[in-house]
Structure 1
Amino acid sequence: MSLSRYTLTSLARTSKSLHAVSIHALWEYLEGLGPLLRLLPPGPWTEDPSTSRHGISVRPLYWSRPPDISTNWPHLQHITPPDQVEWTRFNHYAKHVQRLYWQDERDVSPYVLAALSAYRPAGQPLLPQLRELTWDETCEKHFPFVHLFLTPNIRRLKLTLSDFNPPTMMALFEHVGSACKRVDHLTIRTGIIGDEMWESMGVVDNAFTQLLRSLPELRHFIGEGYLPASCIEALAGLPKLAVLELYVHSEEMHMIAPSAFWSSRHGQWFNALENLELYMDQMDGSTVSILSAIQSGKLQELRVGADYQPDTYMLKAHFDIFARAAYRNSLTSLRLHFDRPLHETTPCPALDVAEALEPLYACPHIDILHIRTPSLVASAHALQGIAHAWRLASLSLVSNYYSPTAKSRLTLEGLIPLARHCPDLRELELPVSADAVPDSETLAQLLPAPSRCALRSLAVFDAAIEDAHAVADFLARVFPAISVLQHVCTAEGADWFDTYDSETHDRWATVRRLLLGEVDSPVQWPDDSSESEPESE
């Protein structure tokens, strides 16, 4: 049970025993240094109430001109060197802080940080028990003072690298590498122009590579920006790395592929991975080499995103790799998301799901399969193969863009194998035509026993429909537990008005009301926030 800060404050005033417990809970998490700085005597620093940001009055904290800082602030009257300040209360509460979230701390001036840095040089952190630091600061003047918070106890570290001064960046990596040997969660954001950062700073990427190699306890890494090849190679050699999110340019992929091949020959390429998210420009031979080199036999979740949709042959080549990889028997979740650049106007050739998936059936334990791409064809043959290969919990085969050249060949009848062979199926998203509804005799033949499928959520994309009552009756028999039904039109921009069919939408709205038992409810536009609520006219 979590208590509010007001309750904790009240408990802290009740007795000495409750005070000790409550104070720790009150100070365990901080957003910025303001609360601690206000524990200092009023002489060393002052607050300027004249500054405002976003219409909210703030009180920036300014140190009273530390000896190494020159300033002409007329309102600063006191000049107290940090070593003459009474730090007892500050230090007493600082030792309770275990998590610090620092985001655009404009109410703490660089003068304060400079004074604190003079008082606590590198190796003497302000918050000695800090275990989690999120540094999401965009002010370059604040960036050099991250070292104030780097402690040997830090396990989770998230840094936004928005200062592109190479000496400052290298000093940061050196401080982290020397002070934070126990980091097991590391997130790196490279700021607004992060894609260009590593290209222009070879010395910086070398320093970052050395940092990664010095973190043997690292288990979880997220790189929210394109990383250079040397950093990825360093990550591949970490013995405990289990969760990885990477953004990689094609040029870097080509550089990594030979290293992946030779490292895998010696059994040293991502040996402990359990969850991989890989985002790139396109899937090609380099990604085949890199994904086939992974040595982990524990990889369960694989998510791949690319700016360009691969053709059926290339996707099939990747699935063939998955079927023969070390993680063949551990892979349970596969999510693929492909896009197309905005300047591309030519429709993509439709991805043939049935053909592409053939090698993947050798992975026996898939329970989540998502493929979202500009254009695909999901036929009844594809669903039949999927239904016989896996006991899925979630299936999504979706075209992201409306494509008149890739009409769906999937009908309602094609859904029946999923109902028969996937009793654990909970979510289903498909491009399906509901114009033709199997008659009772056909349905009894294809589904001889009552359906045990646990499907609760169904989304149909660009789905034509004629008889809403017949469709509702079919869905109720095939998916008796269904409670959420959504009809989605994938057209975008100006094309949306040309392709959106209000009559089709109204018919699907009727199906939804029938499934929910709200037959007499009038029609309304769909509410994305609550798909299961009845509609009103």
Structure 2
Amino acid sequence: MHRALLVSEILLEIFIHVNKILDPHALILSYREMSLARKSFAALARTCKPFHEPAMDLLWAELDGMGPMLGCVMRLHPIIYRSGSSAYFRRFEGVKPLSEHEACQFLRHAGRVRSLQILYNDHFPVLSVLPIATCMFPRLLSLSTDQDLNRYLHLFLSPTLRHCSLPVIHPDLKSVATRCAALEDLSIKSSLKSREADRQVLYDSIRLCKRLVTLACPLLNWTAWEHLSNLPTLLTLEIWDDSAGSLDWHNINFALFLNVTRLSFHTRTSTYIVAVMPHLEFPSLNQFEMEVHYLPWAEAEPLFHALSRCKTLSHIDIYSKRKVQDLLGGSFTPIRQSLCFTQLRTLRFNFPCSCINLDNDLLLEAMSSWPHIRTLEFKDPQALQATVTLRGLFAALRRCPRLHTLDMPVDLVDIDIDPAAESFQDTSLQNLILTSSDITDAEAVARIIFLVLPSVDRVIPPTNHGYERSYDVCLEVQKHLESYRASAVLGQHITGAALQT
């Protein structure tokens, strides 16, 4: 063996490179492929003594389930790996708890585990022998589960834990904050209606967290908001609705979040968001995302007014699942209210109604206000007729030389340009998504794309529910576009007439 392999730092770099190649999280792999990755590290561990420790550390570093550790117990090994089945799909009904000796076998490699995802909780009764003060994974950095850990949460609370994702507010959530002083990422995306007692546990637990960088949780009260505003480490905040209802925001002071760069709301209605936003300041906010079931424009206007104070916004994504109320007046549209965000790189509006009110003039004004825009999406599955024409679109594209992705309703029925006579070419646009656009002549549209938008080599059909009408015609446009490009590669001259196939 080469002397270089005896240097632990070099050996670790080689193994990390192997780990990247075999990383089961890099791609969606089959169980067989994931098993092959684990077998590769197991083989390296058996190769020689210098390889053993670093290979074993990487072999056990990330676990999707408790199965491999339970497989270390001789009595449970046949149950776990019977007929080659994955441990994750086995049940433990009637299996006796571990003995003290078996507990040692189970914990043999626990100190190597750094990331753990718990897929099932039916094996927990087997672990009842472990004392209540036991932390099974002393070096654990990340814990993720969609299972209720019930009274077994303490087994996973390592003092090194930095990332914790739980499905609901755990009754002993405060122990996470007290026992895991290094906690940086806490996620509780509850989909169940919480009791008042549960919400109080959440508020009390958050106030015990001193180093949070990312927080995702149900609706907060004002005391929790105030605590978070005093956390200089906090960068990302996500609020998930658990139907707790709105809170009283009258007669309260501003909370200043100096370092928060991303704010996200996922709620049933916009009432809570509209209530809280006027009382919060985000001088460094870069990303704002909101997903609601229903967005009345009577509430949208104060929301945009509150957002207008965030001059650093470069990413806005607003999605309403249900039909939005009609606008109170033509002067208020989500696009016009967004013209003040001159640093925008990404803007996505998805509203299931004809409320965008976008035409050639407004699009030109918008593009002139967003010189740095790279992604622009205006989706409307119920749009009756697009009012932006191709001439208006190309005039607007001249104002945004960095636009990379475009998805918006365009009138592709009444074509108002002659592509052969068009001197303008946009070479930055690469992704064109014709979600809400009606097309009657797929070949003519493909020819325009080929001549005016040469960097667009693929027309992306819609995949969302509600856009089925556009799917087949987009595939037809793509077919013609590929024909044009193939002809160009063969050296054929593209004239004003359509290609003959």
Fold match, TM over 0.5?
yes
CA distance in 1, matches of 2:466, 2:426: 37
Q: Tell me the equivalent position of 1:319.
A: 304
Q: Tell me the equivalent position of 2:143.
A: 133
Shift of 1:423: 1.7
Shift of 1:241: 1.8
Shift of 1:218: 0.8
Q: Tell me the equivalent position of 2:497.
A: none
CA distance in 2, matches of 1:132, 1:159: 11
AA of the residue aligned to 2:192: D
Whether the 8 Å CA contact 2:168–2:192 is kept in 1: the answer is no
Q: Tell me the equivalent position of 2:394.
A: 416
1:446-525 maps to which residues of 2 (within 5 A)? 450-486=424-460, 488=462, 492=466, 500=469, 508=477, 511-514=480-483, 516-517=485-486
Whether the 8 Å CA contact 1:28–1:96 is kept in 2: the answer is yes
Q: Tell me the equivalent position of 2:188.
A: 188
Shift of 1:209: 0.9
Shift of 1:25: 0.8
1:339 aligned onto 2:321? yes
1:106-255 maps to which residues of 2 (within 5 A)? 106=122, 108-110=123-125, 112-116=126-130, 118=131, 121-122=132-133, 124-138=134-148, 143-161=150-168, 169-170=170-171, 172-190=172-190, 194-196=191-193, 198=194, 201-223=195-217, 231=224, 234-248=227-241, 252-255=245-248
Whether the 8 Å CA contact 2:189–2:240 is kept in 1: the answer is no
CA distance in 1, matches of 2:470, 2:342: 41
Q: Tell me the equivalent position of 1:77.
A: none
CA distance in 1, matches of 2:394, 2:153: 58
Shift of 1:492: 4.5
Shift of 1:302: 0.7
Q: Tell me the equivalent position of 2:55.
A: 22
Shift of 1:375: 1.5
Residue by residue over 1:85-110, the C-alpha shift from the partner in whole angstroms, topping out at 9 and shown as x without a partner, is 3766555522111112212143x251
CA distance in 1, matches of 2:138, 2:463: 54
CA distance in 2, matches of 1:416, 1:392: 15
Whether the 8 Å CA contact 1:12–1:22 is kept in 2: the answer is yes
Q: Tell me the equivalent position of 1:93.
A: 109
1:397 aligned onto 2:378? yes
Change (3 A) 1:501 1:38: closer
Q: Tell me the equivalent position of 1:435.
A: 413
AA of the residue aligned to 1:295: E
Whether the 8 Å CA contact 2:215–2:238 is kept in 1: the answer is yes
CA distance in 1, matches of 2:72, 2:341: 60
1:11 aligned onto 2:44? yes
AA of the residue aligned to 1:60: F
The alignment partner of 2:55 has SS state of helix
Shift of 1:477: 3.5
Residue by residue over 1:458-488, the C-alpha shift from the partner in whole angstroms, topping out at 9 and shown as x without a partner, is 1223433444444333333432211121455
CA distance in 2, matches of 1:358, 1:56: 52
Change (3 A) 1:159 1:353: farther
Shift of 1:214: 0.7
CA distance in 1, matches of 2:247, 2:164: 30
Shift of 1:379: 1.1
Q: Tell me the equivalent position of 1:527.
A: none
Residue by residue over 1:473-507, the C-alpha shift from the partner in whole angstroms, topping out at 9 and shown as x without a partner, is 333343221112145598849xx7xxx59996686
CA distance in 2, matches of 1:262, 1:301: 25
Shift of 1:250: 8.2
CA distance in 2, matches of 1:427, 1:433: 18
AA of the residue aligned to 1:320: H
1:381 aligned onto 2:361? yes
Whether the 8 Å CA contact 1:316–1:357 is kept in 2: the answer is no
AA of the residue aligned to 2:276: I
CA distance in 1, matches of 2:143, 2:121: 14
Shift of 1:262: 3.0
The alignment partner of 1:216 has SS state of coil
Shift of 1:33: 3.6
Q: Tell me the equivalent position of 1:278.
A: 265
Task: Flag as ranges the 4+ runs of structure 1 deviating above 6 A.
Answer: 45-57, 350-354
Q: Tell me the equivalent position of 2:252.
A: 262
Whether the 8 Å CA contact 2:141–2:160 is kept in 1: the answer is yes
Q: Tell me the equivalent position of 1:73.
A: none
Q: Unaligned stretches of 5+ in structure 2?
A: 1-16, 20-36, 489-500
Whether the 8 Å CA contact 2:80–2:86 is kept in 1: the answer is no
Whether the 8 Å CA contact 1:157–1:187 is kept in 2: the answer is yes
**Larger deviation, residues 301-310 vs 355-364:** 355-364
1:36 aligned onto 2:36? no
Residue by residue over 1:295-339, the C-alpha shift from the partner in whole angstroms, topping out at 9 and shown as x without a partner, is 33221111112212333x65444333322x1x31x2111111012
Q: Unaligned stretches of 5+ in structure 1?
A: 67-79, 163-168, 342-346, 520-536
CA distance in 2, matches of 1:105, 1:55: 12
CA distance in 2, matches of 1:393, 1:178: 43
AA of the residue aligned to 2:114: Q
CA distance in 1, matches of 2:442, 2:319: 32
**Larger deviation, residues 431-440 vs 388-397:** 431-440
CA distance in 1, matches of 2:307, 2:150: 43
- Number of residue pairs the alignment of both structures matches: 452
The alignment partner of 2:454 has SS state of coil
Change (3 A) 1:135 1:282: closer
Change (3 A) 1:240 1:352: farther
Q: Tell me the equivalent position of 1:297.
A: 283
CA distance in 1, matches of 2:330, 2:94: 64
Shift of 1:251: 7.0
AA of the residue aligned to 1:147: H
CA distance in 2, matches of 1:220, 1:156: 9
CA distance in 2, matches of 1:49, 1:275: 42
Change (3 A) 1:209 1:370: same
| TM-score normalised according to structure 2 size | 0.77
Whether the 8 Å CA contact 2:71–2:77 is kept in 1: the answer is no
Residue by residue over 1:72-128, the C-alpha shift from the partner in whole angstroms, topping out at 9 and shown as x without a partner, is xxxxxxxx5x3xx3766555522111112212143x251x22211x3xx32x31211
Aligned-CA RMSD value: 3.9
